[in-house]
Amino acid sequence: MSGQPRVLTPEQLALREERRRKRAEPKGDYVQSLQKGSIVPRQWRSLAAPDPGSRSLKILTWNLLAQCLIRRELFPNSDCLRASQREHMTFEELFTPRADVLCLQETDRSAKFRPALDKAGYDYHLAAGPRKKHGCLIAWRRDLFTQTTARVLYYDNENVHGKGDPRFRRGASFRAKNIANIVALKRSDGSGEGFVVATTHLFWHPASLGILQREALRFRTLYAQPTWPILLAGDFNFSPDSPAYALLLRMPLTPTHTARLAASRVVHISVDPTILLTEPTIPDEDAEMDPDRIITNARPARPDDGLLDDAGLLDLYASSPPVRSAYDDGQRALIAGAQTCGARLELDPAQRGAFEPEYTNYTSYWKLTLDYIFVIDPPGKRSAVLGLLELPPSTALEPGLPRKGVSSSDHLSLCAELQWTAEPAPA
């Protein structure tokens, strides 16, 4: 045998290099996975420099669109209604911002979802209403926080009056089986700092949010620290021009608000089984196509039903400290480029709510702003919005979500970075 090294011909060298190149290329499954996970690009907008003496919190909220709720007739223009078509896009939109806390609604398919959260470094608490196949999930980075306690709030079981028979005390319009998931998260570094975080998918009735606000404050008093901020994030199923938004942010009720509140005072057959089956009662003219905000088989409320009047609703919401909206506050700081709902809803730019996102829900039938990140600051501190995840323009969402290459849900995620500093002493 010759000891001379083998000399390759130019053709053999070219073939060897081609084989090396192919081995170095991403495998087909990986490329296909990246393509499946493609979503519409969204820019992170920094709004303020962080205070070096205080740490921030980045929080994301998103209605995932539960697979068990999908019906082709609701999303006729969608090209990705199967779970296998949506999964990669869901994880891309969920994990790309690297939020500290995730607030998710319509969470199902937990066998797929929980391992993904675990691999991404999150612990979580999932809760669902009675006999519901989807629920509300709060996840947090396990390297930053530990959960100290949690509560599931069942709206159907909460009273709005202290006296009277059980139905009057409850003051319910509809038994919706909706819940809120509330957790106390403590920083793991021994500082004693923490947050109360609540997420919910609300029935549109205006008393529900007042109950959530009341119970989140009670939860903080019982299980957390008075210095911890409270964050309420989720799909609230009302728009920035609604009476519920005005009540929460302590805005005066307009004649339009009071008319909507009057129309909302109906009692459903789930509360009063003596009601005969009827045609739909639609309490909000903007809800014509939205099943989350339509009540069928209902009657007008009577005084003995206990539904709160305007004064009662004002009292319910007045029990809370002032509430702020991360996106409404943050997008006001943008000089240009923010996609807001103010022009669409014909809101005065000075009005609170005018700088909420233009849309957070975009389908063939519904194009609405329904999702929010609300903040209740603790005594002596004030929150600042350091940055926001911008919403894509409506032209990128046509002809409706979910859509390949855009988003796997009919809702768009919101993400904000917040920081709390001491309020300046009064002059």
Question: Which residue in 40, 85, 104, 50 sits closest to 414, CA to CA?
Answer: 104
pLDDT at 67 over 90: yes
Q: pTM of the full predicted structure?
A: 0.89
Please write the tens of the pLDDT for every residue from 166-202.
999 999 999 999 999 999 999 999 999 999 999 999 9
Cβ neighbour number for residue 93 with a 10 Å cutoff: 24
Q: Which two tokens stand for residue 286?
A: 């903007």
**Distance of alpha carbon 77 from alpha carbon 90, whole angstroms:** 19
- Which pLDDT belongs to residue 6? 63
Q: List, as one string, the DSSP characters of 330-367.
A: HHHT-SS---BSHHHHT--TTSTTTTSBS-SEE-SS-E
Could you give the 3-state DSSP secondary structure of residue 3?
Answer: coil
Residue with tokens 């302590």: 250
**Distance of alpha carbon 93 from alpha carbon 406, whole angstroms:** 10
Work out the end-to-end distance of the chain between its first and last CA atoms, rounded to an integer number of angstroms. 97
Q: Which amino acid is at 123?
A: D
Residue with tokens 């869901």: 90
- Which pLDDT belongs to residue 30? 31
The residue-averaged pLDDT of 276-296 equals: 51
- Which pLDDT belongs to residue 207? 95
Share of the chain above pLDDT 90, in %: 81
**Distance of alpha carbon 379 from alpha carbon 186, whole angstroms:** 18
Could you give the 3-state DSSP secondary structure of residue 197?
Answer: strand
Please write the tens of the pLDDT for every residue from 379-418.
999 999 999 999 999 999 999 999 999 999 999 999 999 9
Find out whether 353 and 244 touch, Cβ atoms under 8 Å: no
Structural domains of the chain in order of their starting residue, each with its CATH number: 38-252+303-422 (3.60.10.10)
Q: What average pLDDT is seen over the chain?
A: 90
Cα Rg, the chain, nearest whole Å = 25
**Distance of alpha carbon 221 from alpha carbon 241, whole angstroms:** 31
Find out whether 145 and 240 touch, Cβ atoms under 8 Å: no
The residue-averaged pLDDT of 10-18 equals: 62
**φ and ψ of 403, to 5 deg:** -155, 135
List of residues 6+ apart from 252 with CB closer than 8 A: 246
**Distance of alpha carbon 370 from alpha carbon 410, whole angstroms:** 11
Q: Which amino acid is at 85?
A: Q
Q: Which two tokens stand for residue 328?
A: 């409404």
Query: ∠ at Cα 365 (364, 368), nearest 5°?
Result: 100
- Which pLDDT belongs to residue 244? 97
- Which pLDDT belongs to residue 12? 65
Bridge-based pairing state of the strands 101-107 and 56-63: parallel
Could you give the 3-state DSSP secondary structure of residue 420?
Answer: strand
Q: Which two tokens stand for residue 213?
A: 């606000």
List of residues 6+ apart from 132 with CB closer than 8 A: 177
**φ and ψ of 200, to 5 deg:** -155, 160
Please write the tens of the pLDDT for every residue from 93-129.
999 999 999 999 999 998 899 999 999 999 999 999 9
- Which pLDDT belongs to residue 334? 85
Q: How far is CA 40 from each of CA 3, 152, 414, rounded to the nearest angstrom?
A: 60, 34, 14
pLDDT at 268 over 50: yes
pLDDT at 264 over 50: yes
Could you give the 3-state DSSP secondary structure of residue 371?
Answer: strand
Cβ neighbour number for residue 398 with a 10 Å cutoff: 13
Q: Which amino acid is at 19?
A: R
- Which pLDDT belongs to residue 1? 46
Least confident residue range of 134-138, 204-208, 278-282, 301-305? 278-282
**Distance of alpha carbon 353 from alpha carbon 347, whole angstroms:** 8
